[in-house]
Structure 1
């Protein structure tokens, strides 16, 4: 059934020009917003708690904008199955890839922290071909082996190498290449007692500690990737150095720094973040619970 869906519907749709697919997105977004009300409560609760200072009308504008952004992500993901190198490079541009050049020249790997903001998938796929480092994307495998293989192949088609998050420890301990490793930093932690807790978008938020942990252990410079939407289906990514000496920062400072940078981006254009995700499903544990989890 999965193969039928892919070869009879998804793949043929991917051959359509992206502007046509965006017209389909217009329809899909209205369907999800009005009759279906896809995850309406989750989306509205997340937005209202994140922006209590905004009026009901302002919050609803974000909600409506998010539904259109969400369906744009869907059709742009479909397009990625057949997009050409020339088209994706024209749609996703790395603004300052030269920032990594000094590290590449001395054979030093780096980390880029980013969130699920704008079309992170398309940007990551494209900028792998715009830098000298080997670009490594950490990902959570899908339950469907068929779609996991298809999506992984799509993400890898222009130079990105995909590594399952289950293999992160082995990858860092054994891979000796000059790599740029991408971390998605805004996922909800599976174990809130081992997360680092911060104030993010007006709420207590557990943040995965992996970015900081691996940066400190292997003494890797850490950059943040700002993704900006410059037109429908067109994006730019710029990189900002957070630190090139993570081991010298106080515990938790690096995690708080990249989380704050993501929050600033979201506040500038909130409709482009992933509001339908249940980001705040965990409550902050007590200090005693977190201390016991680390023992």
Structure 2
């Protein structure tokens, strides 16, 4: 069945990846009307999330963010498909970086890095950064259930010098890379909501206490990877600008969970600057009513201090 689905879907993906961007965005506009106005895809989730984290905004203001987000979401998914047919030159023109010299300087010093980013603006085209650095690029991801699509995604990333590693194998592979003294940059999306049963740490995110993923921080501290926040701005349709921001110079001496907190604070800044580019369809705050007592106390003390 997996192969049948792949055979049916792949031609459509290939066709879209070969279309010019003008046509891509024409299609995106049509998909927006279908998803938002006809189907109402996850509209309730988005609306609830926005009301939760932006209680100070009027309903009219939140509705405007909502509509802008859905338009952006449609663009993002079409851009993901387009990646398959983009040249290295084209993707670098559309996803630029303001301070690549920061990474080059760290590489010259033999320092490995962990690129931490949220589901914001464009996380798909981040892979183009590997075309500008010397480090071996890894991306931690959730393995796709359909093995044929999983292989396709790995192949696309490989075109831009990025090797995808699943969350399950990431610690072993990155430890080996570190021990081999190979220059390494690993990318991880760190704003997801972990399972409550596996949550080690709870903290405020956009004013609401939630469980936080700490896997990126743990890898940084274990392997001495310098944690870097990648701030991405959407300049206009199909064009993004990124900036590297070092969170800590020496992760091995940073108190537990401070790296995670620093990442979330930077993510909040990005969201507040342009909230329409965050991925609001995720149920990021779904565990807000399950905060353990010890973290409720810490949150209350922090709020009162």
Confirm or deny a common fold (TM above 0.5). yes
How many correspondences in the alignment? 288
Deviations 1:168-209 (A, max 9, x none): 121122123210111211011124553321111121121111
1:134-153 → structure 2 map (5 Å cutoff): 134-153=136-155
Contact 1:113–1:184 under 8 Å retained in 2: yes
Indicate if the aligned counterparts of 1:125 and 1:156 stay in contact, CA closer than 8 A: no
Report deviation, 1:4.
2.8
Provide the C-alpha distance between the structure 2 equivalents of 1:166 and 1:90, rounded to a whole number of angstroms: 34
Of 113, 128, 131, which residue of structure 2 is paired with 1:129? 131
Q: Post-superposition shift, 1:250?
A: 2.0
Instruction: Tell whether the 8 Å contact from 1:111 to 1:183 is kept in structure 2 after alignment.
Output: yes
2:267 is the counterpart of 1:259: no
What secondary structure, in the 3-state scheme, does the structure 1 residue paired with 2:73 have? Answer: helix
- Contact kept? 1:14, 1:81, Cα under 8 Å: yes
Residues 135 and 160 of structure 1 are in contact (CA less than 8 Å); yes or no, is this contact kept in structure 2?
Answer: yes
TM-score (norm 1): 0.93
Aligned to 1:241: 246
Spell out, residue by residue over 1:227-277, the C-alpha distance to the aligned partner (whole angstroms, 9 max, x if none). 111110111111011111122222221111111001100111001111001
Match of 1:36 in 2: 39
Shift of 1:281: 2.1
From 94, 98, 113, give the equivalent of 2:101. 98
Structure 2: distance between partners of 1:7 and 1:34: 27
Identify unmatched segments of 5+ residues in structure 1: 290-295
- Map 1:1-295; keep pairs closer than 5 Å: 1-122=4-125, 124-175=126-177, 176=180, 177-282=182-287, 283-287=290-294
Stretches of structure 2 lacking an aligned partner (at least 5 in a row): 297-305
Structure 2 CA distance for aligned equivalents of residues 125 and 71 of structure 1: 20
Q: Distance in 2 between matches of 1:16 and 1:168?
A: 35
Q: TM-score scaled by structure 2?
A: 0.90
Preserved CA contact (<8 Å) 2:199 2:212: no
CA contact (8 A) 2:196 2:211 kept: no
In structure 2, do the counterparts of structure 1 residues 17 and 205 end up closer, same or farther at CA, with 3 Å as the change threshold? same
Residue aligned with 1:120, SS: coil
CA distance in structure 2 between the partners assigned to 1:284 and 1:172 by the alignment = 32
The equivalent residue for 1:292 is none
The structure-2 alpha-carbon separation of the partners of 1:12 and 1:204, relative to structure 1 and needing over 3 Å to count, comes to: same
